[in-house]
Amino acid sequence: MEFYSRRARSITPYTAGEQPKSGIYVKLNTNENPYPPSPRVAEAIASFPCENLRRYPNPDADDLRDAIARVEGVSRENVFVSNGSDEALALAFAAFFDDERAACFADVTYSFYEVFAAMFGVKTHVVPLQEDFALDLAAMREAECGGYFIANPNAPTGIVVPAGEMEQFIASVPQKLVVLDEAYTDFSGETCAPLIQKYPNLLVIKTFSKSHSLAGIRCGYAVGAPALIGGLMRMKNSFNSYPVDAVCAAACAASLADTEYHDRTVRLVVEERERLRRALEGLGMTVLPSGSNFLFAGRAAVPAGEIYARLKEEGVLVRYWNRPRISDFCRITVGTPQDDDILLEKLKKILS
Ligand SMILES: *Cc1c(COP(=O)(O)O)cnc(C)c1O
């Protein structure tokens, strides 16, 4: 502690979901994909020429940028690649906000935003969600700030702002930057990424961690106007100029190429999400509408904190926050039908 800077002493780090070492848990707490990555990822890694690891990788991961640009229908200059999308989000705080130019976000959203703001000394403006957990875009529009961080679908609620409504919002704040965190967008089927061609104030951030089943590889990206990508590059090159390793870049490009596998596994997760929703509602739980790979469920016969603790005793991990407004909900990742059946069986016992 005595060696810590004032910043290190004052910051409250983000707490990630538990990653238990033993295999006894049905793990539905960190929104990982229940299916393995595309077989093409394994092929790309197995055939990677290891002698190349002697060299530094391309600093901007240009081959992967090109692969992403093709999928998103944009150009290389519109793409920035990062070590997990968390890194792109962090660099966006550093590049576009400061102690005078505030970042605005919801009271209930990805809890990393407030940590990044503290890390980079960014002023914040927090706007409460509405009573039904919908984003209050009207209040956000009026907020005195330099821009926004909006998770869409939101986390941990899963609620989606439809693309049309989001476009109206982006168009209504041309002087402010809108950073859309679309970590779960493949499960809602609605992305705003194509809008970056039309709105120079829009930056869309995506990840390989969720729909591509590659949380372990740590890769994400941002798409936006070249000026915004340039801002992220300035920060990257002032911090870690080679954030994406060569094996990672090859694996992610291979995953992008297998659209058939991606679409199929996304469809399986979405179908299972709706089955799980009906089952949870059947157990008397309130389940928020979700466009993601998780459900926010609670307000049941037993308090959510107790449900979380008793599920854990039974070997099933879900995520719980003892925080205002959301303390009577658990966030449950959609698993395989088999895993979800185990969850449902335990829940039935706990709630009866
Ligand atoms: C999972 C998640 C991310 C992505 O994290 P990675 O660093 O890409 O693994 C970003 N935003 C939200 C809201 C998330 O839930």
Q: Where are the alpha helices (DSSP H) in 237-295?
A: 246-257, 259-282
What is the CA(348)–ligand 1 centre distance, in A?
Answer: 31
Nearest by Cα to 172 from 137, 133, 144: 137
Per residue in 217-261, pLDDT (tens digit) is 999 999 999 999 999 999 999 999 999 999 999 999 999 999 999
Does 151 sit in the ligand 1 pocket, CB within 6 Å? Answer: yes
Output the pLDDT for position 17: 82
Query: Which atom, in ligand 1's list, is nearest to the CA of 210?
Result: 1
Does 207 sit in the ligand 1 pocket, CB within 6 Å? Answer: yes
What is the CA(101)–ligand 1 centre distance, in A?
Answer: 24
Tell which one of 93, 179, 181 to mutate to probe ligand 1, the residue whose CB is within 8 A of the most ligand atoms: 181
In which band, very low, low, confident or very high, does the pLDDT at 22 lie, cut at 50, 70 and 90?
confident
Mean pLDDT of 11-25: 81
Give the mean pLDDT of the chain. 96
Nearest by Cα to 286 from 324, 294, 295, 340: 295
| Cis amide bond preceding 37, omega within 30 | no
What is the CA(207)–ligand 1 centre distance, in A?
Answer: 7
Output the pLDDT for position 15: 86
Query: Which atom, in ligand 1's list, is nearest to the CA of 87?
Result: 7
Tell which one of 86, 150, 212 to mutate to probe ligand 1, the residue whose CB is within 8 A of the most ligand atoms: 86
**Residue 117 above 90 pLDDT?**
yes
Output the pLDDT for position 75: 98
Q: Which residues of 274-313 are buried (b: 16+ CB within 10 A; e: fewer)?
A: eebbebbeebebebbebbbbbbbbbebeeebbebbebbbe
Q: 136 near 130, Cβ under 8 Å?
A: yes
Output the pLDDT for position 25: 80
Query: Which atom, in ligand 1's list, is nearest to the CA of 151?
Result: 13
**Residue 168 above 90 pLDDT?**
yes
In which band, very low, low, confident or very high, does the pLDDT at 55 lie, cut at 50, 70 and 90?
very high
Q: At what angle do helices 246-257 and 62-72 cross, to 10 degrees?
A: 20
Largest Cα separation within the chain, whole Å, is: 60
Tell which one of 207, 252, 293, 294 to mutate to probe ligand 1, the residue whose CB is within 8 A of the most ligand atoms: 207
- Residue reference for tokens 């509602």: 281
Mean pLDDT of 331-351: 97
Q: Which two tokens stand for residue 19?
A: 């990653």
Per the rule left: phi > 0, alpha: psi between -120 and 50, beta: everything else, 147 is: left
**How many whole angstroms separate alpha carbon 177 and alpha carbon 170?**
8
Q: Which phi and psi (to 5°) does residue 252 adopt?
A: -70, -40
Output the pLDDT for position 16: 83
Q: Whose CA is nearest to atom 10 of ligand 1?
A: 183
Domains belonging to the chain, first-starting first, are 6-36+260-351 (3.90.1150.10), 39-258 (3.40.640.10)
Per residue in 126-159, pLDDT (tens digit) is 999 999 999 999 999 999 999 999 999 999 999 9
What is the CA(282)–ligand 1 centre distance, in A?
Answer: 30
In which band, very low, low, confident or very high, does the pLDDT at 23 lie, cut at 50, 70 and 90?
low
Output the pLDDT for position 21: 74
Per residue in 268-321, pLDDT (tens digit) is 999 999 999 999 999 999 999 999 999 999 999 999 999 999 999 999 999 999
**Residue 24 above 70 pLDDT?**
no
Q: 156: burial class by Cβ within 10 Å (0-12, 13-18, 19+)?
A: buried
